[in-house]
Each structure stands twice: as C-alpha cells, then as structure tokens.
Structure 1
C-alpha cells in the first residue's frame, strides 16, 4: 500500500470507533449523574459516608465528587482515558466493598456486582484507550 492509501485508511472511521465513544459515554453517564447528585446534597452524602464508618467523610465526599463528576466528563471527552478509566474502576471497586458488601441483602448484592461489572468495563477502556473519537487520539 502506498502512503496515500495508508493515510486514507487511517482517516476513515470504523464501527469500532463509534462503539468506543458510545461505550465511554454510557459508562460515564452513571458517574456524571451520581457526582451531580452528590454535589446537590453534600450534607446528605457526607452523612451517608459517615454511616458506612469511613474516616474523613468530608474529604471522601470531595474525592467522590471529583472522581465521579470530573472523571466522568473526562471519560466522555476521551482525555487521559486510560488513567481516568483506571481511577474510576478503582473507585467503583472501593464503593462496592465499602458500601455494598452485605451480599446477604439482595439489593446490596445487585449493587455490589453492578459496581464490579462497571469496573470491568472501565478496565476494558483502560486497556484499549479512547478510540478515534477522543482527545487522546489527537
């Protein structure tokens, strides 16, 4: 193949490019919405964190808002995607073990494995990057 043919092949989008951005947006949506709801009710969120027995609830609140809201928006944008996806995956696992570990309760069981599944999807993004439609590609 000539250089021109290779450049044309690189310039065309594939279904995988669209699936990658759709996957990022769908994964990020729950984090952006959750971060926004925490931002809207700081006192309630801090009380909930304290009820789970975690130390430094105010700091944990600020960190959760940053990871969910900022991290979610960065994931949508495809900026520093591998790092952001890894951080949100770790956050999801921490939330599963600290807030949803009562697996005898069916609701908590579902939330626990929802968080584990989201972490799995995020690790896929961390492994393969943002795809063509993200700031990382530029």
Structure 2
C-alpha cells in the first residue's frame, strides 16, 4: 500500500516554513554584514582563492547575501531568491572550500551543499502562507 502525505496546510506547517526561512537566511545576512564590516579581510580572502576582481566580488557577494537573506525572511520572490542563494552556496563552496583533503574544508563544503539543499526545498515548495509572496 502506498501512502502520500499532503503538504502541511495547517498553522503549524506555515509557522515551520517561516521559521525555516528565517533560520536558513540568518547565515547569509550575518555573512554579508561581516563582509561589509571588514572589507579588507574579505577582499584578501577572495584574492587568496585566486578569484579575479576581489572588490567587485565583495560587493556582489554582500548584496546577494544581505538582499537575498532579507528577501527570504520576508518571503519576497521566495522561489527565485532561494534558487539564487542555492547557486551562490554551491559556487562559494567550490571556490573557497574545495580542498577536500582538509577535513575542516570538507565540512564547510558539505555545509554549503546542505544549505543549497534546504534552499532547493524552499524553491520547490514555496514560502508557506506567512510571506509577502502570498499577499
């Protein structure tokens, strides 16, 4: 016998969706703020990874992280924002944490993949009822 479970449509499900968005967005918002708070260190880190145009990359990353994180929290253009942040997470993991022989870097890479996976769930199933997208 095969059973399927319908998406949560009760109040608890909507609260879980909103809470999940806030929790996954927090790392992006805080990371973006950290980049702005210490731009020289971030530019140095980007350059040390061999990426070009480190100052422009800093600005782009901060905008994606802060803007995307806040949009995700608010539930604004949630599916698109979740896809952008998922892609950003994978690219950042490959650019900065691809030294898999270093266990710490491997863990950070897997963390980025896990965040991308959670964001793909948001993109697939939407923001829930507590979101600007639902207005």
- Who is 1:15 aligned against? 12
Q: TM-score, normalised by structure 2?
A: 0.91
- Who is 1:51 aligned against? 48
> CA RMSD for the aligned pairs?
1.0
Unpaired segments of 5 or more residues in structure 1?
A: 1-11
1:100 aligns with 2:97: yes
Q: TM-score, normalised by structure 1?
A: 0.89
User: Which of 65, 88, 107 matches 1:68?
Assistant: 65
Q: Which one has a bigger Cα radius of gyration?
A: 1
Cα separation, 1, equivalents of 2:113 and 2:104? 14
SS in 2 for 1:49: helix
1:35 aligns with 2:35: no
User: Which of 82, 87, 91 matches 2:88?
Assistant: 91
Structure with the higher fraction of residues in helix conformation: 1
Unpaired segments of 5 or more residues in structure 2?
A: 1-8
Greater than 4 Å deviation, 4+ residue runs: none
SS in 2 for 1:35: helix
Using the TM superposition, give the Cα deviation of residue 14 of structure 1 relative to its aligned residue in structure 2, in angstroms: 2.1
SS in 2 for 1:132: coil
- Who is 2:116 aligned against? 119
Cα separation, 1, equivalents of 2:110 and 2:90? 9
- Who is 2:6 aligned against? none
